[in-house]
Structure 1
Amino acid sequence: MYFLETAIVLLVGAFLLTFFTIPKIIGVVEYKKLMDNPNHRSSHKKVTPTLGGVAFYYGLILAIFFLKGQDMYNEAIYLVPAITILFIIGLKDDLVVLSPLTKLAAQIIAVSFILASDSFTIHSLHDFLGINDIPYFVYLLIGGFLMITIINAYNLIDGIDGLAAMVGIVILTMYTIIFYLSHEFFYSLLCIALTACLSAFLYYNLSKTKKIFMGDTGSLIVGFMIAMFTLKFLALNPSDYRELPFHLDSAPLVAMGILIVPLFDTARVFTLRIANKKGPFSPDRNHTHHVMVDYLKLSHRQASCTIAGFNLIFVVILIIMGSASSNLWMIILLLFTCIALAYLFFRLDYSIPNLKRKVFLKRKVEELKHKLHLTPPLAWSSRSKHK
């Protein structure tokens, strides 16, 4: 009963706080002319207020204060400085563009606070891919890499109206259920508070008259929280899985399924940029959502709803498989989905760089056919006459 009452208070309180604060933020941003000016990569055509993530920051801080005493390992002591660091660096990046290296350094410092807490230590993968005990220094490397990857992956999907908020709501809803069933109520309630913030922000992000972007201020904070929840999920004890609808060793695959949208988009974009001999963090319009808007001619709302809906359906299917089948079929589903999506968006993308790649691959295939004597039928017939 206590959980339900607290969840309702946090849900309503965080929603109303964000909903009534964002117009004030819009007013200040417009008055100080801190608007986001569109460029050749932008998906919007008008100058738009940013810094919507400011509301996320104090919404989370107040939620953590409200939940004091509920964290078994005093996680709040580690969360507050980490969130504050990312809030400051995100705010500065929205006002004065920072280099990727500066943002990466801030992320490493923020992640270090989480890795220093015993609550997030992953001791074992419970025979996933034959891996059991994990040395502490290996956990630090894997945990740090995992969190930084998720933070940047979420940051990269914030490219069209509604997408980051919708995908964030889907991911946080999954983690809310998982932490509730595993009796980690502190994390479940934090998920609810952040979901409420994103829901209130979504109203303005999709608005035509009061539009605002979350900016790096918001995407870094939300990405960090999602990364932290993922690490905590993987660090759950075997006893915590008694009421979860999937097997213990399926947890890494379920986590990948929950994060399929940001992880797939990041892997795809980084691959394309490296193939074009560009830096992985160099900006472009090769993201999945850009392809859907530019080449499928979907509106921002349609593209965002489609991607978020896919994320929800996919993770539900994966969880069902995790409760009834072995990890092998879950791995096959993940690989098949990623390969199919990569091929689909490769076929849909008609940008100049992608057309060049298609011509290059076609030539390579033809060369390979010649080497394997798989020439066209005409060549075969002429060869036969010669014989």
Structure 2
Amino acid sequence: MISILFFIGSFLLTYLALPSIIKLVEDKRLMDNPNSRSSHKIKTPTLGGIAFFITLIFVLFFLRSWEINDEGIYIIPGLTILFFIGLKDDLVVLSPLTKIIAQILAVSFVLSNDSFMIETFNGFLRINEIPYYAYLVIGSFIMITIINAYNLIDGIDGLASIVGIAILILYTTIFYITKQYFFALLCVSLNGSLMAFFGYNTSTSSNKKIFMGDTGSLIVGYIISILTMKFLALPAESYDELPFLLENVPLIAISIIIVPLFDTARVFAIRLADKKSPFSPDRNHMHHVIVDYLNLSHRQASFLIGGGNIFFVVLFVILGSTAKNLGMVIMLVSVSLFIGYILFRYNYSFKVLKKKIILRNLFEKLTLKSKKNDKKGNIKD
């Protein structure tokens, strides 16, 4: 009953706040202008993440009764930092370095709470005890990676919402089973916000449409990173009720957030291979490939990717109930490389073919011109 109240309350608060945000953005002309990389063709309101921030602040206030280690008060500072950084980035584009510094500061508050401390990987790849300094490095890397990975998948209508909803459903189940009710209710509440936002984000009416922007994606990514840290930091006895081996917990965590992680790794690899900055914008994301070459709508592509995320987790939970982690690691890497290769080839086959044809035609023209000049020279001689 409590979870239903949190869900409905978050849904309504977000749903009712978004029209006011849309009106404000339109009045102040803070619209997102389309460019060559955009998936939209008209100016569209952004800053939908403001509604997430307002909702989460209310939720954290009412969740105080379920806190065990005062988690809420450690979450709010980082939430506020990322809200203002995202807001500024939506209005005036910030450098990647500025955003990374802000993220480091934001996650430091969470990592200073003992509730999120990872002391062991429970034998994963034979890693047991983790020193405190290593925990700080690993924890910072995990959280910052997830925040940026989620931020990068917000490229087509509905995708960030659907992927976020899928991830939060999985974490809700985990934290409910392990009796971590603070985090279960936090998941339910954020899911209410994302579902309310989804209707506006995928709306065909220009008067109702809005993007979450970096304001929203940084906030949602931040919460997902916190949930991941908590999942990895649960005491060993908490995993007894979960349907997978204790040593496979890190792999299950990876499978839950596989879509943003896989897409980020793939895009960064492509950019580095092209000798570009990994943060340089382009249309090489997985969702762009699906929309551009499979000719799917944004909503169809979003549901396809979100469904794939859930399928991948279910598969790994089933395998993780019996398989040793080394075998699962090999499988995870193999599947990721295979899918990445297919998407890479599919994404670039048309472009590469076009470039080859252009270069071949240019070469033939130059060769033909060179032969004509040689003939003229020989005639004169």
Superposition TM-score, scaled by structure 2 size = 0.91
Show the 5 A alignment for 1:147-166. 147-166=143-162
Q: Deviations over 1:114-142 (max 9, x none)?
A: 11110100000011000000000001001
Aligned mate of 1:339, from 326, 337, 345: 337
Aligned to 1:118: 114
Show the 5 A alignment for 1:240-251. 240-251=238-249
Show the 5 A alignment for 1:256-271. 256-271=254-269
Offset, 1:12:
0.5
Match status 1:178 vs 2:195: no
> What is the percentage of aligned positions where both structures have the same residue?
60
Aligned to 2:212: 214
Using the alignment, how far apart are the partners of 1:309 and 1:56 within structure 2?
Answer: 24
Using the alignment, how far apart are the partners of 1:77 and 1:106 within structure 2?
Answer: 18
Amino acid at match of 1:148: I
Aligned to 2:59: 63
Amino acid at match of 1:212: I
Using the alignment, how far apart are the partners of 1:219 and 1:355 within structure 2?
Answer: 35
Offset, 1:296:
1.8
Offset, 1:250:
0.7
Contact 2:125 2:326 (C-alpha < 8 Å) held by counterparts: no
Superposition TM-score, scaled by structure 1 size = 0.89
Runs of 5+ unmatched residues, structure 2: 358-381
Q: Deviations over 1:289-332 (max 9, x none)?
A: 11111122211111111111100111011111111322234223
Contact 2:44 2:210 (C-alpha < 8 Å) held by counterparts: yes
Using the alignment, how far apart are the partners of 1:280 and 1:65 within structure 2?
Answer: 38
Matched position secondary structure for 2:123: strand
Aligned residues: 355
Matched position secondary structure for 1:34: coil
Using the alignment, how far apart are the partners of 2:289 and 2:311 within structure 1?
Answer: 21
Show the 5 A alignment for 1:218-229. 218-229=216-227
Aligned to 2:275: 277
Using the alignment, how far apart are the partners of 1:23 and 1:252 within structure 2?
Answer: 40
Matched position secondary structure for 1:132: strand
Using the alignment, how far apart are the partners of 1:283 and 1:233 within structure 2?
Answer: 32
Aligned to 1:25: 21
Using the alignment, how far apart are the partners of 1:301 and 1:58 within structure 2?
Answer: 26
Aligned to 1:384: none
Using the alignment, how far apart are the partners of 2:238 and 2:194 within structure 1?
Answer: 28
Match status 1:37 vs 2:33: yes
Instruction: Evaluate the alpha carbon distance shift between residue 31 and residue 298 of structure 1 in structure 2; reply closer, same or farther with a 3 A threshold.
Output: same
Amino acid at match of 1:12: I
Using the alignment, how far apart are the partners of 1:340 and 1:301 within structure 2?
Answer: 25
Q: Deviations over 1:129-185 (max 9, x none)?
A: 000000000010011011000000000000000000000000011111111111111
Runs of 5+ unmatched residues, structure 1: 360-387
Aligned to 1:319: 317
Using the alignment, how far apart are the partners of 1:218 and 1:98 within structure 2?
Answer: 16
Matched position secondary structure for 2:121: strand
